């Protein structure tokens, strides 16, 4: 199976999908995604434990639906007809119109479907060994016991590399690590009692609540940073 095939098979949780969509669609919620699933607009797979797993194609469909509602006020029935039309929107996100679907937008490069070695991570992200060592030193990412790096470590490295283009070095990112640790401590207090339940159905709901809280925390953080920067950008 190819790397893309493995990634499609693994998929993303509903909370991860929410985090992807929120920057473009601030009003979207997990309840909204579940509603669109119930209406047949998207059909994520379920793990044996009942967790939703969304592929890149599922996320593209959700983005198409949300854009159609926001920009063109199309009813769900019409949107579903466009999505299900032969030759309809591919995995690249397409802009909905009242006629045919057109103008695809290329998605971001996918995260690695398998763990990366240190050399692979450096080559894939395009950062020097010194930068990776500093990211580890300041607690921004860590290798697994076998020395490999997962998709989260890859995403952190990519983001840190982009920030470096603006002169923000790994040592400057310690504040983000400290803030994240404080947020984790707060969310743990909310989630710990829920995860103590032994009922499998309750566990599924607890996992989805955790995803929702993570997405909400990310959204709030983004809003606070954006609002704070207005004193600079609006001068």
pLDDT in tens, 38-47: 889 999 998 7
Question: In the chain, which stretches have pLDDT less than 50?
Answer: 1-9, 90-109
Judge if 60 and 76 occupy the same domain: yes
What CATH number has the domain bearing residue 7? 1.10.1660.10
Query: What digits encode the pLDDT tens for the residues 123-142?
Result: 999 999 999 999 999 999 99
Out of 51, 81, 105, pick the residue that ends a domain: 105
Residues 99 and 125 in one domain: no
Q: Are residues 90 and 160 in the same domain?
A: no
pLDDT of residue 210: 81
Q: Say if residues 58 and 86 touch (Cβ distance below 8 Å).
A: no
Residue 160 and residue 189 in one domain: no
Both 166 and 191 in one domain: the answer is no
Classify residue 110 by its DSSP letter.
P
* Residue whose structure tokens are 């207090």: 189
State residue 108's pLDDT score.
Answer: 46
Give residue 96's pLDDT.
Answer: 46
At residue 113, the pLDDT reads 65
DSSP 40: T
- The DSSP 8-state label assigned to residue 49 in this structure reads T
Which residues constitute the domain of residue 132?
118-173
Q: Are residues 20 and 76 in the same domain?
A: yes
Which of 105, 131, 162 is where one domain is finished?
105
What pLDDT was estimated at residue 111? 58
CA distance 61 to 40: 11
Count: domains in the chain? 3
């Amino acid at each position: 199976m190819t790397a893309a095939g493995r990634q499609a098979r693994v998929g993303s949780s509903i909370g991860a999908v929410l985090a992807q969509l929120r920057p473009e669609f601030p009003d979207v919620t997990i309840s909204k995604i579940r509603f669109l699933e119930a209406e047949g607009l998207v059909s994520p797979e379920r793990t044996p434990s009942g967790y939703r797993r969304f592929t890149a194609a599922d996320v593209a469909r959700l983005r198409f639906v949300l854009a159609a509602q926001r920009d063109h006020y199309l009813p769900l029935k019409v949107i579903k007809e466009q999505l299900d039309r032969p030759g309809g929107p591919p995995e690249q996100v397409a802009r909905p119109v009242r006629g045919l679907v057109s103008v695809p937008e290329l998605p971001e490069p996918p995260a690695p479907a398998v763990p990366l070695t240190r050399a692979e991570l450096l080559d894939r992200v395009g950062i020097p060994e010194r930068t990776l060592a500093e990211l580890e030193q300041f607690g921004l990412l860590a290798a697994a016991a076998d020395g490999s790096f997962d998709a989260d470590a890859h995403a952190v490295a990519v983001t840190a590399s982009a920030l470096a283009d603006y002169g923000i070095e790994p040592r400057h990112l310690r504040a983000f690590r400290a803030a994240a640790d404080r947020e984790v401590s707060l969310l743990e207090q909310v989630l710990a009692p829920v995860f103590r339940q032994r009922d499998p159905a309750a566990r599924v709901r607890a996992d989805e609540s955790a995803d929702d809280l993570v997405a909400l925390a990310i959204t709030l953080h983004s809003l606070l940073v954006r609002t704070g920067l207005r004193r600079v950008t609006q001068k």
